[in-house]
Amino acid sequence: MTMPVATEIVSHAAHQLGLAATPTFALMAWMTAISPPDMTMCSGASAFVPFNSMALMYLLMSLFHLSPWMKLLAARLQRPSTPVTQPEGN
């Protein structure tokens, strides 16, 4: 494998990993928010708060990792000739 090919593979893998972070953290936030209170080990949140500190942390992490999705959307919007799939019937 030549160096440019290896660099391209690593670059593609890093891009895909960046896209995986946001939905992963969002899912973790949702699962933490809906989990029973006795499953939370590190939370000092009161019963009046609908989510605990771990859910808030995961939500913030998903927002901080939103950049690759925004770049992907911006690239798609700059190329209007790119086909966009729509659900059938629309």
pLDDT digits (tens, 9 = 90+) for 34-79: 877 665 555 555 555 556 778 888 888 888 888 888 888 888 888 8
CA atoms of 40 and 8, how far apart (whole Å): 41
Could you give the residue ranges of the DSSP H alpha helices within 1-90?
Answer: 3-34, 53-64, 67-78
Distance CA 71, CA 15 (A): 11
The confidence score (pLDDT) of residue 46 equals 52
Read off the pTM.
0.58
Lookup result for tokens 């290896």: 6
- In angstroms, rounded to a whole number, what is the distance separating the alpha carbons of residues 12 and 35? 35
